[in-house]
């Protein structure tokens, strides 16, 4: 298995993986998710992230998985916290349980530490028990809980 940083020519593969995540996760857990966003806006968005030194864009095995991470701007309410956010991650269903997700997260955590992050965060849908268990197994713990009423 190989995990590599995305280059400009990898953006279409990254967009395809993100689109699958939108459909599979957001489309299932969020009735307001615009699952067509990656097709309309994804190329320019992800191309910008690939070029941004404050972002990490990874692909595993040429598209079997992806991870997007970024350093968050300093928060004046928490001035001593340097936060790296795992913004997006997906492993293709047929490739799960092969260690791809763990390799992506390990690479993200190393990248974050190299940039001075004192905390790393990720969000997952409360109903996505598999994602929550995966992130907990990789050391993430609940910190804030967002409650929504529709």
Full domain range(s) for residue 17: 3-137
In a domain, 126, yes or no: yes
Q: What CATH number has the domain bearing residue 119? A: 3.40.630.30
In a domain, 142, yes or no: no
What is the pLDDT at residue 150? 86
In a domain, 12, yes or no: yes
Per-residue pLDDT tens for 116-150? Answer: 999 999 999 999 999 999 999 999 999 999 898 88
Domains: count for the chain: 1
In a domain, 62, yes or no: yes
In a domain, 144, yes or no: no
What is the pLDDT at residue 52? 97
Of 98, 97, 100, 104, whose CA–CA distance to 120 is shortest? 104
Per-residue pLDDT tens for 27-77? Answer: 999 999 999 999 999 999 999 999 999 999 999 999 999 999 999 988 999
In a domain, 145, yes or no: no
CA distance 26 to 35: 7
Quote the crossing angle between the two packed helices 43-51 and 11-21, to the nearest 10°.
Answer: 120
What is the pLDDT at residue 14? 97
What is the pLDDT at residue 74? 86
Output the pTM of the full model.
0.94
In a domain, 51, yes or no: yes
Q: CB-based burial of residue 25 (10 Å sphere; 0-12 exposed, 13-18 middle, 19+ buried)? A: buried
In a domain, 125, yes or no: yes
Residue 113 has pLDDT above 90, yes or no: yes
Residue 98 has pLDDT above 90, yes or no: yes
């Amino acid at each position: 298995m190989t995990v590599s940083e995305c280059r400009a020519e990898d953006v279409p593969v990254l967009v395809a993986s993100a689109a699958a995540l939108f459909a599979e996760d957001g489309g299932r857990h969020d009735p307001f998710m615009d699952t067509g966003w990656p097709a309309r806006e994804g190329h320019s968005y992800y191309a910008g992230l690939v070029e941004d030194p404050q972002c990490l864009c990874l692909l595993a095995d040429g598209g079997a998985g992806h991870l997007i991470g970024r350093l968050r701007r300093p928060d004046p309410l928490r001035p001593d916290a340097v936060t790296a956010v795992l913004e997006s991650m997906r492993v293709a269903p047929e490739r799960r349980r092969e260690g791809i997700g763990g390799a992506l997260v390990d690479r993200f955590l190393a990248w974050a530490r190299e940039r001075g992050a004192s905390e790393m965060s990720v969000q997952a849908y409360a109903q996505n028990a598999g994602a929550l268990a995966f992130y907990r197994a990789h050391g993430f713990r609940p910190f804030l809980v967002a409650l929504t009423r529709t």
